[in-house]
Amino acid sequence: MSFQAIHRRNQYFEEKIVNVFFRIVLCTVISLSAGNLWAQTESDTATSRQAALERVTDGIKFLASDELAGRMPGTVGIEKAAQYIEKAYKEAGLKPLEDGTYRQEFIVRRGRDLDREQVSLTLMGPDSKATGLVLDEDFIPQIGRGSVDEDAELVFVGYGIVAEDHNYDEYKNVDVKDKIVVMIRREPQQNDADSVFDGTEVSSHAYIAAKVRSARDAGAAGIIMVNDNVTADTPEKDTLSAPDEFGASVARLPFFHVKRSVIDGLLKKSPLVKADGSKLSSLKAVEDSIDESLEPLSQPIKGSSAKLKAAFKDKEIKTSNIVGIIEGEGPNADETIVIGGHYDHLGMGGFGSRSGGRIEIHNGADDNATGTEAVVELARMFAKRGKAPGRRLVFVCFSAEEMGLLGAQHYVKEPLFPLENTVAMVNFDMIGWLRDDKLTVFNWNSCAEFDPILTNANQKMNLDLVKPPSGFAGSDHLPFFQKQIPVMFMHTGLTSTYHTPEDDFETLDCDGALKVIEFTEGVIDGIAELEAKPQFVGQQTARRIRLGVSLNSDHEKGVEITRVSEDSIAAKAGLKEGDVIMAIDGKKTEDRRAVNGAVRSNTGKKVKFKILRGTEEMTKEIELKN
């Protein structure tokens, strides 16, 4: 072997040794770097999730705070919630609507108000002189169901109490049919600890609703009420109630509240007469007499009558769905996925509350501060990616859901993007109680494509998905479902705090809510990446439907309709505010539950409703189909 060959061989082996050494060192470096990178990535992920959890927790806590006072449409509280959502959209970089705002405004009607140009109260005394009283100074009507136009004789009925348990009936020996009764607020012997009327405590006989019921049962045409001497012992304390102070309890009869001085003036001209013939020419004298004897002094106020006139109008409230947009990219960029949840709640309670009439802040932490924050956090998640999704994402926090899904109904009535190109709607309502990692996904079968998407998204999260075979209709996905758009509804279940003042932030599992949000991020990715538009499965209908009415069970003939939603089944069938549902399908309806149960059990059928309208009974055949 030549020297050159030996040299080349030695050089070869030297290079091999160096290469091997270099590779060992390189692999070691790469291995160490990969380990560091993995640890760094895991650490970054944990840090990122912790930041998300803090955002979600803080957001829910704010939305469910007393500062927002239950987020009732038309209040300062819901406006603060709207501003919070807008700020989050803007900071995330979501696109606003064409007018440059994030608000889709609409009008809702909540309650009623006086039409003050059509209100009057005129008294006629025994001297045939008419006395016109001044609204807000001398009298004020309570808001009722319809216009008032009554002209009738006046009958004094004391406190307007019928108390069989105390053998005390102020309607027993007097005819008030088609008359206007004059009554005193509260009850006799209020300062007497030994009074049969619960001593110095206010008994149920003093309740306005009880007084109205007794007057109505006796056939009265209307009520004029004055304050009692105990609570209004000076003219300064003799104040008039607000026109909506007594709520639905006064809706059965025309009800006017007047100052004591008005009735004192009437009694001076036409005194009440006691059994011994002595005359009482003031309210104070009348009250003292009743307190002393606990005997009714009910009788006509001779020669006196009253003419009551009042009209009422719906209160119109402007509210808004809060909408932010992330545009899509690619062949399906013009198709839309709506991600939604309602941000309103019940305010101080009232209709819809399960609190037994307690007037307290209903913070709605689970229902639906959690769902609102889900929409907001998902908007942040998708916005920060820097890459457009395969389809347009429209994030909507709906208003007036608790008033009958009104925000969602407005959206589908005036869609921001064509409904024919809206491929899915994902809804969040109450996701704050993730117990044993169980997440209920309603309407998962509204299209064939959803089930494999759910399975794929859950590989990472490993939630226990509960997939009921039939849908649920009581939230904002329903109006989309009715337009044959595939929907999914994320829900962690009803709780004992539902629609009560106890639905507070402290009861929630915010980490569980974030798990639902993270899972749904994968679901939305799956929908956005579908090559073809998912096809709505029409036969997978939601079993629960809504008649579209608000109901009051306090009617002796059945259940009274206090409000009819626009474009609802009830509205299309011609049902009206003030109608009383007496029976459905031949079965008597005694309360709201009976009505709702009959509607649910007869979904899709034509059913006969027995209705009382005024004094006329009628039967309406209504098809319970959306």
CATH number at residue 570: 2.30.42.10
User: Confidence band (pLDDT; 50, 70, 90) for 16?
Assistant: very low
What mean pLDDT do residues 210-214 have? 93
Confidence (pLDDT) at 32: 45
Of the candidates 257, 277, 310, which is a domain's last residue?
A: 310
In whole angstroms, how far apart are CA 385 and each of 59, 378, 382, 546, 609? 21, 11, 6, 40, 55
Whether residue 146 is contained in a domain is answered as: yes
Answer yes or no: do 223 and 271 share one domain.
Answer: yes
Whether residue 67 is contained in a domain is answered as: yes
Please count the other Cβ atoms lying within 10 Å of the Cβ belonging to residue 426.
27
319 with 78: CB under 8 angstroms?
yes
In whole angstroms, how far apart are CA 261 and each of 232, 264, 279, 430? 11, 5, 18, 53
Tell me, what CATH number does 214's domain have?
3.50.30.30
- Is the pLDDT reported for residue 594 higher than 80? yes
Strand partners, 180: 154, 222
**Percent helix, strand, coil in the chain (nearest 5)?**
35, 25, 40
User: Confidence band (pLDDT; 50, 70, 90) for 43?
Assistant: low
User: Which one is predicted more confidently, 14 or 476?
Assistant: 476
User: Which sign does the torsion angle of CA 53, 57, 58, 63 carry?
Assistant: positive
Strands 606-613 and 580-584 turn out to be antiparallel
Q: Which residues have CB under 8 Å from 378's CB, separation 6+?
A: 339, 395, 517, 520, 521, 524
Answer yes or no: do 234 and 257 share one domain.
Answer: yes
- Is the pLDDT reported for residue 175 higher than 60? yes
- Is the pLDDT reported for residue 604 higher than 80? no
216 burial via Cβ count (<10 Å: 0-12, 13-18, 19+):
middle
Distance separating alpha carbons of residues 331 and 350, to the nearest angstrom? 49
User: Confidence band (pLDDT; 50, 70, 90) for 626?
Assistant: low
Answer yes or no: do 304 and 155 share one domain.
Answer: yes
Confidence (pLDDT) at 473: 74
Please count the other Cβ atoms lying within 10 Å of the Cβ belonging to residue 623.
13
Q: Which of 34-43, 143-152, 376-385 has the lowest mean pLDDT?
A: 34-43
390 with 335: CB under 8 angstroms?
no
Distance separating alpha carbons of residues 552 and 144, to the nearest angstrom? 13
pLDDT tens, position by position, 227-245: 999 999 999 999 999 898 8
Strands 130-132 and 120-124 turn out to be antiparallel
Proportion of the chain above pLDDT 90, given as a percent: 71
Question: What is the model's pTM?
Answer: 0.64
- Is the pLDDT reported for residue 593 higher than 90? no
- Is the pLDDT reported for residue 325 higher than 80? yes
Confidence (pLDDT) at 563: 80
Whether residue 2 is contained in a domain is answered as: no
Answer yes or no: do 304 and 362 share one domain.
Answer: no
Answer yes or no: do 149 and 277 share one domain.
Answer: yes
- Is the pLDDT reported for residue 350 higher than 80? no
Q: Which residues have CB under 8 Å from 425's CB, separation 6+?
A: 337, 338, 339, 340, 477, 480, 481, 485, 486, 487, 488
Whether residue 1 is contained in a domain is answered as: no
Q: Which residues have CB under 8 Å from 389's CB, separation 6+?
A: 326, 328, 329, 382, 524, 525, 528
Distance separating alpha carbons of residues 226 and 251, to the nearest angstrom? 18
- Is the pLDDT reported for residue 33 higher than 80? no
DSSP SS3 for 113? strand
Confidence (pLDDT) at 550: 82
What mean pLDDT do residues 244-261 have? 86
- Is the pLDDT reported for residue 5 higher than 80? no
What mean pLDDT do residues 285-307 have? 96
- Residue 146: name the closest of 613, 617, 583 by CA: 613
Whether residue 6 is contained in a domain is answered as: no
User: Confidence band (pLDDT; 50, 70, 90) for 250?
Assistant: confident
Whether residue 494 is contained in a domain is answered as: yes
Q: What is the dihedral of CA 362, 364, 369, 371, to 10 degrees?
A: -150
Please count the other Cβ atoms lying within 10 Å of the Cβ belonging to residue 412.
20
412 with 480: CB under 8 angstroms?
yes
Answer yes or no: do 229 and 362 share one domain.
Answer: no
Answer yes or no: do 506 and 561 share one domain.
Answer: no
- Is the pLDDT reported for residue 29 higher than 50? no
Question: What is the total count of domains within the chain?
Answer: 3
Of the candidates 310, 326, 358, which is a domain's last residue?
A: 310
Give the gyration radius of the chain's Cα atoms. Answer: 34
Q: Which of 21-30, 192-201, 432-441 has the lowest mean pLDDT?
A: 21-30
Answer yes or no: do 239 and 218 share one domain.
Answer: yes
User: Confidence band (pLDDT; 50, 70, 90) for 42?
Assistant: low
Mean predicted lDDT score pLDDT of the chain: 89
Please count the other Cβ atoms lying within 10 Å of the Cβ belonging to residue 506.
8
Of the candidates 283, 310, 337, which is a domain's last residue?
A: 310
Distance separating alpha carbons of residues 10 and 27, to the nearest angstrom? 25
Range of the domain at 303: 116-310
DSSP state of 239: P
Answer yes or no: do 107 and 120 share one domain.
Answer: no
Confidence (pLDDT) at 342: 98
Strands 103-114 and 312-326 turn out to be antiparallel
Tell me, what CATH number does 509's domain have?
3.40.630.10
Q: Tell me the H-state helices in 194-272.
A: 208-217, 260-269
Q: Which of 19-28, 199-208, 260-269, 470-479 has the lowest mean pLDDT?
A: 19-28
Strand partners, 319: 106
Confidence (pLDDT) at 45: 75
Q: Which residues have CB under 8 Å from 300's CB, separation 6+?
A: 153, 154, 155, 156, 174, 179
- Is the pLDDT reported for residue 438 higher than 80? yes
Distance separating alpha carbons of residues 362 and 351, to the nearest angstrom? 12
Distance separating alpha carbons of residues 212 and 504, to the nearest angstrom? 36
- Is the pLDDT reported for residue 543 higher than 50? no
DSSP SS3 for 540? coil
92 with 380: CB under 8 angstroms?
yes
pLDDT tens, position by position, 398-413: 999 999 899 999 999 9
Q: Which of 106-115, 400-409, 544-553, 556-565 has the lowest mean pLDDT?
A: 544-553
User: Confidence band (pLDDT; 50, 70, 90) for 146?
Assistant: confident
Whether residue 4 is contained in a domain is answered as: no
- Is the pLDDT reported for residue 31 higher than 60? no
Whether residue 180 is contained in a domain is answered as: yes
The number of C-alpha atoms within 13 Å of 247 and in the hemisphere containing its C-beta is: 11
Q: What's the token pair of residue 172?
A: 């027993």
Confidence (pLDDT) at 474: 84
Answer yes or no: do 173 and 120 share one domain.
Answer: yes
b/e string for 450-461 if b means 16 or more Cβ within 10 A? beebbeebbeeb
Confidence (pLDDT) at 245: 82
Answer yes or no: do 444 and 583 share one domain.
Answer: no
Answer yes or no: do 196 and 300 share one domain.
Answer: yes
Q: What are phi and psi of 4, to 5 degrees?
A: -65, -40
In whole angstroms, how far apart are CA 247 and each of 112, 145, 209, 350, 357? 10, 11, 9, 10, 12
